[in-house]
Amino acid sequence: APDTPVIDQAYSKLSNSITVEWRAVPGATNYMLTAEDGDSFVETMVKNSPGTVTGLKPATLYRITVRSVNSGGKSQPSPFRKVKTGGLSKSYFKFLDVKLAFNSGALRAVVSWMPTEGALTYSVTVSSGLLKLRCNTSSASCMVPSLQCSSEYYVSVTAHNDAGSSEPSEAVSLKTIPCAPVNISIEEDEPGHLLVSWSSVSLGHYYVVFVKSDDGLEVHCNTSSTQCHFQSDCGYTYFISVFAYNKAGQSPLGDVFNYTTAPCCPSDFRAVFTSSDTVRVTWAAVRGADLYETRAAGGSGVMLCRDTATACTLSALQCSTPYNITVYSFSEARGSNTSCAPQYVATAPCSPEIKNISKEGLSVISVQWQPNNEEATYVVTARGEAGLWHCTSTRNSCTLMDLPCGSDFSVSAIARSPAGQSLPSYSVPLETAPCCPNDMILTQVTQSVTNISWSVGRGAQTYVTTLESPKGQAKCHTLQTYCLLGCITCGTNYTVSLRAISETGLTSSCTYQGYSSSACCPSGVKLYRLSNNGIRVFWRASDETMSYNADLHGSKGNFSCTPSSGLSHCDITKIPCGDVYTVLVAPVTNKGPKLTFCPKKIYS
């Protein structure tokens, strides 16, 4: 007889049969299957494994044995297995061949398997922790909806018929797509660089960040970390989305963030002074700017100007002060671009203040001022009808030379530096001393009176003339350009001086060539008739060394006689009779006309 076989497994697919699997026995030609329930038994002869015993009662527990048969007889029964009809054993389910098809977009899975004889319905269980989802179907597939992202599920299938349910199949793992990344942060870690970061996503293997600018250009970044760097331009709005990926697919679309970079710094930045304390700042409009702020820092504080226009005027700047002028651009979305570079400017020097004007000499004026600039050249200008006069210095004074006499000037000062020119100082009036008259004429009117006349001295209002000798002084003060001086001593040398005085009291002292008064007239003039047609003229000489001349003037003629020096008489003959004559005896001089002011005598 052959050896006893050994049962590998036995199960019931249907409610009236049991299927048995065993190991083949050498030399066996047939096998006898026996099913016993205690009340009866059923035997079935089969050629090889597996074999099925039919005609059994449903839902009944049977003892199953196998014997090997050949021409030599039957073997002993194999060790028995207990199998209940009408149920689905775990071994039955291994033929289902479970397959998963995951729909990442809808977050659902389709579970499918090979249909098996004896199963009327199937139930699919999808579990994750305490969460369990079920799907019942009579087909060989089932759709499980409402799965969660970033979750791992375990899927098992149970078969059912009228006799009962099988044990669940061995669980199959299902990992869903990752959830959309959260806690997305966008910042400019430095101008021109965007840093996008997010929290790690469960079951996310890698991430893709998409950045699209408002001009349509799109870039992306693949990374397994939780941050990405992007180049950015000022004044743009970027739309940013982050996706997580794994083998199941792409995460759902999360929030789309927009980030607006700071507006660009103004270009073509120019600062031009329109006056010594006012600067006009202009620039070109830039992308992303809604408002501009011009800031001038220097001196005692900061000056601000805000406008939507691309120009700003800063006034009342401090003189002789350096300023850093910066134009910042603002946007409602991002605020200010604080990386804009300043431009250095310096205001013109401060106006000097004239402290003193003094006369150093004729036509020489010294001007002093308060220096109120560190590095400046000062220019003083005297302006008048006579013209312009200048002097220059880097210190606190300078001298105006060759100013014309008798002129009025307005004196002012300015300061110059590489930054520009100051406003002029307050003007100080300046009057030069009046000019001395160029010409002076002295004419003796009488023996004791002299007439002096002169040309106009520019700038003079009054004049004081003086004739002075050891014997005395004669003086007059007049508004005119002439003067009669009395008390002149005849035959005396005088020094001549004149003071020209301006309306404000400025005086010029003028000196001229000396003046000699005429010789003195003789005294005691007497007339004696010599004959019917002659006359002798006697006089008492004032100076014995002086020569004299006697003149007779009548209607019938003029006659004269001049005696030798030292004589005090002379004769005039051949005088027509019957006429009245005027007799004048005067000293004879080498210069000027004859003197006509000596006393006259009448002779008839």
Looking at residue 92, its pLDDT comes to: 46
In which residue are the tokens 């699997």 written? 21
Q: Which of 9-18, 275-284, 552-561 has the lowest mean pLDDT?
A: 9-18
Closest CA to 189 of 222, 232, 223: 232
Comparing 118-127, 209-218, 224-233, the range with the smallest average pLDDT is: 118-127
DSSP E strand stretches across 520-578: 523-531, 534-540, 548-554, 557-561, 569-573
Out of 516, 549, 581, a domain closes at 516
Domain boundary among 49, 84, 119: 84
Annotate 14-54 with three-state secondary structure.
Answer: CCCEEEEEECCCCCCCEEEEEEECCCCEEEEEECCCCEEEE
Q: What is the CA radius of gyration of the chain?
A: 71
CATH code (residue 547): 2.60.40.10
Q: What angle do CA 231, 237, 239 make, to 5 degrees?
A: 85
Do 555 and 505 lie in one domain? The reply is no
- What is the three-class DSSP state of 263? coil
- Output the pLDDT for position 350: 93
| Domain-embedded: residue 2 | no
Same domain, 392 and 455: no
Is 595 inside a domain boundary? yes
For the chain, the domain total comes to 7
Answer for the pair 179, 150: CB distance below 8 angstroms, yes or no. yes
Closest of 365, 352, 371 to residue 425, by C-alpha: 352
Nearest by Cα to 285 from 329, 241, 244, 332: 329
pLDDT of 491: 86
Residue 1 lies in a domain: no
Tell me the C-alpha to C-alpha distance, in Å, between residue 53 and each of 32, 34, 347, 449.
Answer: 10, 8, 116, 186
- Domain span holding position 213: 185-260
pLDDT digits (tens, 9 = 90+) for 574-592: 888 888 889 998 888 776 5
Q: Is residue 66 part of a domain?
A: yes
Q: What pLDDT, on a 0 to 100 scale, did the predictor assign at position 94? A: 46
Exposed / middle / buried, residue 360 (Cβ in 10 Å: 0-12, 13-18, 19+): exposed
Residue 386 maps to a domain: yes
Residue range 341-353, pLDDT digits in tens: 999 999 999 999 9
Least confident of 158-162, 164-168, 230-234, 550-554: 164-168
Is residue 120 within a helix (H) or strand (E), and if so which, with residue range? Answer: none
Q: Which residues of 183-214 are buried (b: 16+ CB within 10 A; e: fewer)?
A: ebebeeeeeeebebbbeebebbeebbbebbbe
Residue 375, pLDDT score: 87
296 lies in the same domain as 311: yes
Considering the domain boundaries, does residue 281 fall inside one? yes
Residue 336 in this model has a pLDDT that exceeds 90: no
pLDDT given for residue 89 in this prediction = 46
Inside any domain, residue 218: yes
| Same domain for 160 and 118 | yes
Predicted pLDDT at 161: 76
**Residue 363's pLDDT is what?**
86
Q: Is the pLDDT of residue 412 over 80?
A: yes
- Structure tokens given for 545: 């060394």
pTM as predicted: 0.60
- Residue 18 resides in a domain: yes
- Give the end of a domain, one of 431, 463, 488: 431
